[in-house]
Amino acid sequence: MNSYSEDKEIIEILSKLRNLQNQLGEGDGNKPSLLPIDKRKQLEKDLEELIKEYDHCLIELDRIEIRHSPIGKSFVDTIRHFHTFDLDKEWDYYYEDILDFHENGGLLERGKFLNNYYKLKPPYVKTGTKIPQGIKNICHESRWCFVYGQYSAAIALSRTVIETVLKHEFNLEGDLNDIINLACEKKLISEKAKWNAHGIRRLSNKILHKADVATQNQAKNSLDHILDFIEEIYLG
């Protein structure tokens, strides 16, 4: 589906749904409609099929790509008003369709997922390294970003780890460039940690301020450097 055609398709289905509901007397404020049994059964069957079609349209609705539509916000509001997407229910019924659609559409690339996952070495640190849970959580998230091919996000989160650790563990304030240098001058981190931290900082600045796109190798190196960095800081 492209941007506007998917909008039009959903709105057409919504119009048909409302029409069927009105015929069945199920619309807002409608009284039960007196229909022959055969006619009612057929309308109910049509309604059921149309709801399935609508659900599939919601599955295939692109929620990632920025797109242009003359309908805009009113279109989104129409969808929300008509139907709340029950993710648990939809997953139970349509999980194969959901995964197939996103895999075929490139959002979920099985080959890239497996390649990236097994490219990561297990993140071991030496026994006695006491890492705060919050830092662990960010590290976990950055590694999942790498697995899913979100390399720029992995690097941006790696920068967050460096800045958070240096500010909170050593009460350093100011620009990250100055903080890294000061931490090294005070012998709080090694020259190697300083070098790697600056490398991640520069990469992250290009991503955050110039919208550069990171490579797989850059993200992988950043994750490896972060693991060394937190081990150096938190090893008792």
- For position 83, what pLDDT does the model report? 59
Pick the residue with more confidence: 151 or 23? 151
- 230 and 149 inside one domain: yes
pLDDT digits (tens, 9 = 90+) for 101-125: 877 777 677 888 888 998 998 899 9
pLDDT digits (tens, 9 = 90+) for 56-81: 888 887 777 766 666 666 666 666 66
Asked whether the predicted pLDDT for residue 3 surpasses 60, the reply is no
- 218 and 162 inside one domain: yes
Looking at 77, 104, 131, the residue that finishes a domain is 104
Q: How far is CA 13 from CA 7, 40, 49, 51, in A?
A: 10, 19, 11, 8
Give the structural domain span for 171: 110-234
- 130 and 194 inside one domain: yes
How many structural domains compose the chain? 2
CB 176 within 8 A of CB 170: no
- 27 and 82 inside one domain: yes
- 74 and 118 inside one domain: no
- 100 and 147 inside one domain: no
**Helix axis angle, 176-185 to 151-170, nearest 10°:** 50
- 28 and 89 inside one domain: yes
Name the band, by pLDDT with cuts 50, 70 and 90, for residue 49. very high
pLDDT digits (tens, 9 = 90+) for 130-145: 999 999 999 999 999 9
Q: What is the DSSP string of 12-25?
A: HHHHHHHHHHHHHT
- 139 and 23 inside one domain: no
- 131 and 97 inside one domain: no
Alpha-carbon span 146 to 152, nearest angstrom: 9
Looking at 58, 82, 104, the residue that finishes a domain is 104
pLDDT digits (tens, 9 = 90+) for 211-234: 999 999 999 999 999 999 999 999
Name the band, by pLDDT with cuts 50, 70 and 90, for residue 1. very low
- 132 and 198 inside one domain: yes
The secondary structure of residue 92, as a DSSP letter, is H
- 37 and 152 inside one domain: no
Looking at 76, 104, 132, the residue that finishes a domain is 104
Structure tokens at 80: 């929300």
**Helix or strand or coil: residue 154?**
helix
Q: What is the CATH number of the domain that holds 166?
A: 1.20.120.330
- 78 and 189 inside one domain: no
Q: What is the pTM of this model?
A: 0.73
**pLDDT (average), residues 162-188:** 95
CB 159 within 8 A of CB 176: yes
- For position 76, what pLDDT does the model report? 66
The secondary structure of residue 234, as a DSSP letter, is H
**pLDDT (average), residues 169-189:** 95
